[in-house]
Structure 1
Amino acid sequence: MAFLVKQMKKEFEQYQQQLQEEKEEREADVAQKKAERATVRTHFRDKYRLPKNELDAEQIQAARDDVELPEELAKMIAEDNQEEAQKSSVLGQLSSIQNVDMDHLKNKAQATLEDLKNNAEKCALM
């Protein structure tokens, strides 16, 4: 009988330990997911110059800065960054303008420059 009680107690302790390990794994997974979401929110806050959120920073730190974004999110952010870089370049800005007559712009710029030179020559202070 004592042997049976010891056996049951041992099994119960193993069961409790297994439950505790599973709980810790679930909590770690939840913390990881929260940190991933916080990282995405932080990215967009930085991108759009929005105020930072302390809760996001805490969630990222809680994951011990070991945050890996899911592939789909990482790909989306990379595409977004690439698109922003392309739009911010001079060629990107020019390509976004439709029906631009470059010769007309060049002639207008040269006429303005000539006008400035003529006005500078007529200036009494110089």
Structure 2
Amino acid sequence: MERDANFAKKKAERATVRSHFRDKYKLPKSELDETQIQQAGDDIELPTELAKMIAEDNEEEQHKQSVIGQLSNIQNVDLDQLKDKAQATLEDLKTSAEKCSMM
């Protein structure tokens, strides 16, 4: 009985991983996976190594989806130079706003 319980738990853990990736990549859900998770109970968690890998993957994807992540993918873009230019432009705007007689 104990062996069967451990086996059911392992199957549910694998089903949890598969369902996570199905959600992440917007794939159709599997009724078999949902059934295995329900049979094992609500106390099923991802193994710590897999949870750590998924968290790292999520952080990497968030960085890639950010504006800076997209800019870093473009070849021959110097982010430091771009940042310096943006700061210089802001400073120029501030000085011109200070000189403006209407403001």
Counterpart for residue 97 of structure 1 = 74
User: Do residues 42 (structure 1) and 19 (structure 2) align?
Assistant: yes
Matches of 1:89 and 1:63, distance apart in 2: 38
Query: Residue deviations 1:65-86, cap 9 Å, x none?
Result: 2112212111111111111111
TM-score in terms of structure 2 length = 0.70
Counterpart for residue 26 of structure 1 = 3
Matches within 5 A, 1:40-119: 40-100=17-77
- What's the CA shift for 1:100? 3.0
Query: What is the RMSD of the two structures over their aligned residues, measured on CA atoms?
Result: 1.7
What amino acid does structure 2 have at the position aligned with 1:45?
A: R
Percent identity over the alignment?
Answer: 73
Matches of 1:62 and 1:89, distance apart in 2: 40
Unaligned stretches of 5+ in structure 2? 83-103
Q: Which runs of 4+ in 1 moved over 6 A?
A: none
Unaligned stretches of 5+ in structure 1? 1-23, 103-126
Give the aligned length: 80
TM-score in terms of structure 1 length = 0.58
Q: Which has the higher contact order (CA 8 A, sep 6+)?
A: 2
